[in-house]
Amino acid sequence: MNHRLILVNNISNALSLLIYLVIAFMMSPFLVKELGVVFYGIWASVQSAVGYLNLMDMGIQSAVMKYVAQSDGQDDKKTAISNIVVNALAFYSLITMVGSIILCGLFFWGINYLSIAPENVDLVRTLLLILGIDMLLMFPGVTFKGVLTGQHRFYVANVIEITMTIIVAISIVIAIKNDFSLISMALITLIGNVVRYLLMLFAANKVYKLFSFTNGKLDRRIFSSLFRFGLRSFIVMVTDRIYLRSDALIVGYFLSAAWVPFYVIPASLVGYSRNLLWTVTQSFMPLFSSLDGTARGGEIKNLYFQYSRYICLCFFPIIVCLFMYGKPFLNLWMGAEFAEKGGIVVKLMALSLLPAAIQPLSGRLLTGLARQDVLFTASLVTAILFIGFGTIGIVQFGIKGLAGAFLISSFSPVLYILYKTASIVHFMVFDFIKKSVLKPALLASVFGLIVHIAGAEGGLESYASLIVHATAMMSVYVAGAYCFVLNVQEREKITLAVGKYLKKITM
């Protein structure tokens, strides 16, 4: 097992997400200022409308990743991957035809349901056409990304993603600064994405020679396998979206639109951390599939235990920092009113990350082994509980009641998922808790107490003071992790790696 490759993939995933968030954070105020509220609203509305076409993917990208990874156990791996690519592209051809019909409907009739001034109708239609074509071209494009990631080359896909994201953002800034229109933005986005996926095709087909179009053939069995796996993943994704994305609608319906920012903005802080956990663990799904395809079940268990402990060790302090520093940060970022109304929301939402942090790899393992039925049952129950408890909570207690309902529902599937994972991989739940979760959890609890005693929620009147305080506290946590959680061999490896690095930079 290549542990260095796992580390590189995870770091590249986190870096890709970080750069995307930074660019999005910088671009939003720039576009609002340069375009004006009306044209920015048009851009956002068209992107939102076209974005629903993304649901037509039906989970096929994850299916490509899973079966490409599983092909490691086959004698002729290149032919197996070629067959997967050809059948995935055949499926996406059907999807593209259906999507084209839907896009035509949006172009000719859907525009009537948008509140667009008559003078902007032609502009909106043009944007719909360009961004719609961009979305439809994405379907075959993600096939090649699935091949790269299925063969554990997340770092290659991420280098391409980061490079093209930066180039597209710079190109849009230059275009807007030179008074080009929204159509120019849309064309830049389209061209950037076409180049993005052509580069992934070139990397997978020419650089690494993972597949060949001429070696692949349509196969009813492979097509059916991709569809069934993708459909199960798609259903899980839909139920997850009900749970994760319906909160703003509930707040707006039961309270008012004015209350939505006081819930959504604190919740977004926690959402970024959830995305980080999802991104960092993404590379493990094809790894589990690959080990399953080569019948190396013992390594699956060892990998699950070892890296669950590492992720717990890294993610628990993030939850503590969100819980302790969330309110002071809101006060600095958005003002006292947001801190007062949203402070309890960010605390409750931070605690809702614990179930995912306790078993960070269960979802990836179950998906990699094609056991999404477990995830579907868990996510469906979670969504139903959130809608039910959320409705009661917001009526009785306002936005803090909704956040409390989110917390309660997030804990509902923990034992079920962990028990099912244990039965599939053949380990004892208590053994996993003892070896992977207990020590990081105890350290995080002590860390939270130290942060509280050090006065995290009082006296932090600037970003600088908050950063200094958090950095000092994190240094205490890192020291505790090194001394009490890591074993002797892990400490020796870290000491050796740091020594080599210091020697290198001082030479």
For the record, the structure tokens of 317 come out as 């302090």
Residue 243, amino acid: Y
Name the band, by pLDDT with cuts 50, 70 and 90, for residue 455.
confident
pLDDT at 31 over 90: no
Least confident of 56-60, 337-341, 363-367, 375-379: 56-60
CB atoms within 10 A of CB 376: 18
Domain boundaries, the chain: 1-237, 246-507
The band of 115, judged by pLDDT with boundaries at 50, 70 and 90, is low
Per DSSP, 485 falls in state: I
By mean pLDDT, which of 50-54, 147-151, 389-393, 449-453 is the weakest? 50-54
Task: Kindly report, residue by residue over 243-285, the tens digit of the pLDDT.
Answer: 777 787 788 888 876 788 788 888 888 888 888 888 889 889 9
Closest CA to 283 of 494, 81, 9, 467: 9
Q: To which residue do tokens 């002729």 refer?
A: 76
pLDDT at 404 over 70: yes
222's tokens = 């492979």
| pLDDT tier at 443, thresholds 50, 70, 90 | very high
Q: From the centroid of its chain, how far is CA 220?
A: 32
Task: Identify the residue with better confidence: 337 or 86.
Answer: 86
Q: How far apart are CA 238 and CA 424, in angstroms?
A: 24
Residue 32 reports pLDDT greater than 90: no
Q: Mean pLDDT over residues 179-203, rounded?
A: 92
Give residue 90's pLDDT band: very low, low, confident or very high (50, 70, 90): very high
- 205 band by pLDDT with thresholds 50, 70 and 90: very high
CA distance linking residue 352 with residue 23, whole number of Å = 27
Q: In this model, does residue 437 exceed pLDDT 90? A: yes
Rounded-to-integer distance, Cα 428 and Cα 365, Å: 16
The one-letter amino acid code at 6 reads I
Place of tokens 């717990």: 312
Cβ–Cβ < 8 Å for 467, 456 = no
- The per-residue pLDDT of the chain, averaged, comes to 87
Reading the block at residue 189, the tokens are 């986005």
Cβ-contact 69, 294 below 8 angstroms: no
Task: Supply the DSSP symbol for 206.
Answer: I
- To the question of pTM greater than 0.85 for the whole model, the response is no
Cβ contact 381:330 at 8 Å: no
- Residue in the structure block whose two tokens are 């490509």: 64
Token couple for 347? 């605390």
Residue 113 scores a pLDDT above 70: no
